[in-house]
Amino acid sequence: MMHILRRWYDRHFSDPQVVILAFLLTLGFAVVIFAGRLLAPLLASIVFAYLLEGAVRHLQMWRLPRMVAVILVFLVFLALLVATLLLVVPVLGQQITQLVEELPNMVAHGQNLLLQLPERYPQIVSEEQVREIMGAIRAQTIALGQQVVNLTLASAMHIATIMVYLVIVPLMVFFLLKDRDAILGWITGFLPRDRGLANEVWEEVNLKIASYVRGKFIEILIVWAASYLTFIFLDLNYALLLSFMVGISVIIPYVGAAVVTLPVAMVAYFQWGLGNEFTYVLVAYAIIQFLDGNVLVPLLFSEVVNLHPVAIIAAVILFGGLWGLWGVFFAIPLATLIQAVIRSWPRYGDEDRPREEGPV
C-alpha cells in the first residue's frame, strides 16, 4: 500500500512547481469556503473591479492616463448603480408584491381546473390523485408565503447592513481599480518566487475567466432588455420581473431557461387563458432562448469555454451548493480553472520521471 501511495506521489508531486500550485489552490479555496461570508463585500468588489478593468484598459489604449480612465469608468459604474437602485429596484419590489398578492387567486383557479380533470379524463386522473396534488400545492403556497415574509423581515432587519455595503463596495471598487498594480505587487510579495507553473495556469485561466465574466454580464443585460421589450410589446403583466428572471436564468446553463419557462407560462395563462396571446408569449420566449443559445452565446463565448455539458451541470450543482448564487455564477469559471490545472499538471511515470545523475 505504501509503495502504491509513493508511486502516486512521485507521479503527481515530484516537481516543486506542482507543490506550489497545489498550495496556492488549497489556500484560495480554503479562504473562500471558510471566510466567504465575511469577505462577501470584498469578493463582490473584486468581481466588479474585474469587470471594469477591461473598460479601463480600452480607455488607456486611447492614450488616456490610467487615473483619468479609472475615474471615468467608475463614474459610469456609479451612475448605473444609482439608476438601478432608484428606477429598477422599486419597480421589481412592487411587481413581486403584486404577484404574491395575486398568487392565492392563481392557486384557486388552478385547483378548479384540477377538479375538472377527473370528470374529463376519469381513466387517467382520479379524484384521490387530484386531492393529493391540491394538498401539495397548498403546502407549497404556504411555504412560499412564509419564505416571502421571512425574506421581508430579514431585509428590514438588515437594511442598515445593505446600506453600509452600498457605500463600502463602490469605494473598494474604486481603490481596487486605482491601486491595482500596487495591490497585486503586495500580494505577490508573499508568494514564492519560483512559481512558473502557477503563473502559466493563471495566465490561461485569467484570460478565459475575464472573457467569461464580462461576456456573461453582457448576455444577462441583452437577454433582460430583449425579454422586457418583448413582454412590454405583448402587454404581459409583471414584464420587468419576468424579464429580470429570464436574464438571470442565463447564469445556469440549460437548466435556467427551462425553470423560468414555468412562471412566464403561468402568468400568461392566468392573464389570457389558452388564447392567441398565450401562444404569442411562449413563441416569443422560445425565440429569445433560441437566439441566446445559438447566436449570442457563440458570439460572446467563442473558444472561451470548452467544457462538456455534463461537466457544466455538475459544476453548477457542486459550486451552487457550496456558495449559492455566486457559486452558480462562477461555476463555469471554476470548472475552467480545474480543467486548466488538470491539463497543465505534470505527470511523471516510472519511465520518464527525472533521474538523479550519479557521479561520473
What would the DSSP string read from start to end of 60-101?
Answer: HHTT--HHHHHHHHHHHHHHHHHHIIIIIHHHHHHHHHHHHH
d(CA 13, CA 349): 11
pLDDT of residue 359: 39
Taking the C-alpha atoms of 132, 135, 140 and 142 in order, what is their torsion angle to the nearest 10 degrees? -170
d(CA 61, CA 53): 12
Q: One digit per residue, pLDDT tens: the chain, 360 residues? A: 666 666 655 555 555 666 666 676 777 777 766 766 677 778 778 878 878 888 888 898 888 898 999 999 999 999 988 888 888 888 888 888 888 778 777 777 777 777 776 777 777 767 777 777 777 776 766 666 666 555 554 555 566 667 777 888 899 999 989 988 888 778 777 666 666 666 666 776 677 777 777 788 888 999 999 999 999 999 999 999 999 999 988 877 767 788 888 889 989 988 888 888 999 999 999 999 999 888 887 777 765 566 666 777 777 787 777 766 667 767 777 777 777 667 666 655 544 444 444 433
Q: Specify the residue for cell string 495566465.
A: 203
pLDDT of residue 356: 42
pLDDT of residue 355: 42
Question: Phi/psi class of residue 330: alpha, beta or left (left: φ > 0; alpha: ψ in -120 to 50)?
Answer: alpha
Could you tell me which of 91, 344, 65 has the C-alpha nearest to residue 204?
344
Q: Specify the residue for cell string 437594511.
A: 159
> Which 8-state DSSP code applies to residue 235?
T
Q: Which residues of 34-57 are buried (b: 16+ CB within 10 A; e: fewer)?
A: eeeeeeeeebbbebbbbbbbebbe
Q: Is the dihedral of CA 176, 182, 186, 187 positive or negative?
A: positive
The 10 Å Cβ neighbour count of residue 293 is: 14
The three three-digit cell numbers of residue 124, written as one number? 387517467
Residues 131-185: pLDDT tens digits? 777 777 767 666 666 665 555 545 555 666 677 778 888 999 999 899 888 887 7
The three three-digit cell numbers of residue 266, written as one number? 403561468
The three three-digit cell numbers of residue 293, written as one number? 443559445
Could you tell me which of 41, 61, 58, 48 has the C-alpha nearest to residue 177?
48
Q: Specify the residue for cell string 473562500.
A: 32
Residues 73-119: pLDDT tens digits? 999 999 988 888 888 888 888 888 888 778 777 777 777 777 776 77
pLDDT of residue 135: 73
Could you tell me which of 182, 170, 134, 229 has the C-alpha nearest to residue 47?
170
Could you tell me which of 266, 273, 253, 229 has the C-alpha nearest to residue 319?
253
pLDDT of residue 357: 41
pLDDT of residue 350: 43
